């Protein structure tokens, strides 16, 4: 069978990324330009700055992706771009670029949901992975438990009611003066701490709910830090990081295992920026083994925002019979 090449484009937040993926699973190129150094000094992503940087660089990244894949633009069979959720100005850059490319080359175009893209990173990493499975998507903007019923069929079983898991990591890192983005810094620092040192709350919510909530935990950590400061006691940042992380990981992992049992699947997967967390991977590895489940997660480069996962998701949706019109708009609050 002739190979099918998808060009993926991702600009939903602060990464400008273009990739070429063969048959939905094999990465020929995945160029990622991270703006993190620009946003770092503001302590978070500045939307207007992100959009401008995407505009400045996207043509160069596209050329690099095509060259690195050693293909011609003419060889591409499908153009896929993220159309939500994300920052509207940032989304519009990649989406407009993709639509322009589709119009001028007369190649089919498909809009991709960023969250579905994160899930599909697992298809690239694990060539044998097929639906159905349960996926825990944890990133800076999302915390979703998704039942992946087919290659283009998803059902949300639970989601965060307030902060996303990554957002909680970033806020606690800021309170500890660690820097931005906080997830990797807390992950590293926690390795030197005692995770049983402080008993932070675990929010399991109602017994039958697969939703999450991290705002109570965030307040508990901030209150603890304030209390210690008022009493003139120096906190052990490693212990705070480890205890906070343990609380997040425990709830995420337990709810994932319970949900897998409830829907009766034997495979679970992780996705999104927080899927790079070493403690979360370890916990799910242990619990999966104990419960007879197969556990999948992408390598770190495929966990954070990248265009290869968007190309993969676009490919599988297209093969399932979906295609988008060039009138497709960006949807900052797009749901699965």
- Least distance in Å: CB of 10 to Zn ion? 8
Taking CB under 6 A as the binding criterion, the range among 28-36, 210-218, 229-237, 268-276 that sits at the site for ligand KG4 is: 268-276
141: Cβ contacts below 8 Å, ≥ 6 apart: 13, 85, 86, 164, 166, 167
**By C-beta, is 167 or 239 nearer to Zn ion?**
167
- Residue 111 in contact with ligand KG4, rule: CB under 6 A: no
14 is in an annotated binding site: no
Nearest to 187 by CA among 246, 268, 250: 246
**By C-beta, is 13 or 257 nearer to ligand KG4?**
13
Given 24, 94, 273, 314, the residue binding ligand KG4 (CB under 6 A) = 273
- Residue 276 in contact with ligand KG4, rule: CB under 6 A: yes
**By C-beta, is 66 or 296 nearer to ligand KG4?**
296
How is the beta sheet containing 294-296 ordered, strand by strand? 153-159, 143-150, 133-138, 267-271, 294-296
Distance CA 150, CA 114 (A): 17
- Residue 170 in contact with ligand KG4, rule: CB under 6 A: yes
133: Cβ contacts below 8 Å, ≥ 6 apart: 148, 265, 267, 268, 269, 296
Under 8 Å between Cβ of 120 and 275:
no
Which structure tokens are listed for 260? 């897998």
- Least distance in Å: CB of 164 to Zn ion? 10
Distance CA 188, CA 277 (A): 9
- Residue 314 in contact with ligand KG4, rule: CB under 6 A: no
Taking CB under 6 A as the binding criterion, the range among 23-31, 99-107, 221-229, 271-279 that sits at the site for ligand KG4 is: 271-279
Half-sphere exposure of 48 (CA within 13 A, CB side): 1
Given 143, 256, 277, 312, the residue binding ligand KG4 (CB under 6 A) = 277
> For 281, phi and psi rounded to 5 degrees?
-60, -45
**By C-beta, is 24 or 273 nearer to Zn ion?**
273
Q: Which does 131 bind (CB under 5 to 8 A by kind): Zn ion, ligand KG4, none?
A: none
- Least distance in Å: CB of 319 to Zn ion? 23
**By C-beta, is 169 or 265 nearer to ligand KG4?**
169
Q: Which does 213 bind (CB under 5 to 8 A by kind): Zn ion, ligand KG4, none?
A: none
- Least distance in Å: CB of 208 to ligand KG4? 28
95: Cβ contacts below 8 Å, ≥ 6 apart: 9, 11, 81, 82, 83, 111, 328, 329, 330
- Least distance in Å: CB of 253 to Zn ion? 20
Alpha-carbon torsion (167, 281, 150, 214), positive or negative: negative
Q: Which does 168 bind (CB under 5 to 8 A by kind): Zn ion, ligand KG4, none?
A: none
Taking CB under 6 A as the binding criterion, the range among 25-33, 74-82, 181-189, 326-334 that sits at the site for ligand KG4 is: 181-189
Residues in a beta bridge with 84: 113
∠ at Cα 244 (166, 167), nearest 5°? 15
Q: Which residues are at the interface with Zn ion (CB under 5 A)? A: 139, 305
Half-sphere exposure of 134 (CA within 13 A, CB side): 27
Q: What is the CA radius of gyration of the chain?
A: 20
The annotated binding site is made up of: 114, 118, 137-141, 170, 183, 187, 277, 305
> What are the residues binding ligand KG4 (CB under 6 A)?
13, 139-141, 166, 169-170, 181-184, 187, 272-274, 276-277, 304-305
């Amino acid at each position: 069978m002739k190979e099918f090449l998808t060009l993926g484009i991702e600009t939903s937040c602060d990464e400008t990324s273009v990739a070429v993926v063969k048959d939905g699973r094999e990465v020929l190129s995945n160029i990622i330009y991270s703006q993190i150094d620009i946003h770092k000094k503001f302590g978070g992503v500045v939307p207007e700055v992100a959009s401008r940087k995407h505009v400045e660089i996207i043509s160069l990244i596209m050329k690099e992706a095509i060259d690195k894949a050693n293909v011609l633009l003419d060889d591409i069979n499908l153009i896929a771009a993220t159309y939500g959720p994300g920052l509207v100005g940032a989304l519009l850059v990649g989406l407009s670029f993709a639509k322009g490319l589709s119009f001028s080359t007369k190649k089919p175009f498909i809009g991709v949901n960023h969250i579905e893209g994160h899930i599909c990173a697992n298809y690239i990493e694990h060539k044998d992975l097929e639906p159905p499975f349960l996926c825990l998507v944890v990133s800076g903007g999302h915390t979703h438990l998704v039942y992946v019923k087919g290659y283009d069929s998803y059902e949300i079983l639970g989601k965060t009611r307030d902060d996303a898991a990554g957002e909680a990591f970033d806020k606690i890192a800021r309170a500890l003066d660690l820097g931005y983005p906080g997830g990797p810094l807390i992950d590293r620092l926690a390795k030197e701490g005692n995770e049983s040192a402080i008993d932070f709350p675990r929010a399991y919510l109602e017994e039958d709910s697969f939703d999450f909530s991290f705002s109570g935990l965030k307040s508990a950590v901030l209150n603890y830090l304030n209390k210690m400061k008022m009493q003139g006691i120096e906190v052990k940042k490693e212990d705070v990081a480890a205890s906070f992380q343990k609380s997040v990981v425990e709830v995420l992992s337990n709810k994932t295992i319970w949900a897998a049992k409830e829907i009766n699947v034997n495979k679970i997967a992780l996705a999104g920026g927080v899927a790079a967390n070493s403690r979360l991977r370890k916990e799910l590895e242990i619990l999966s083994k104990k419960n007879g489940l197969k556990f999948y997660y992408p390598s770190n480069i495929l966990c954070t925002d990248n265009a290869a996962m968007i190309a993969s998701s676009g490919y599988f949706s297209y093969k399932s019979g979906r295609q988008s019109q060039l009138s497709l708009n960006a949807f900052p609050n797009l749901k699965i």
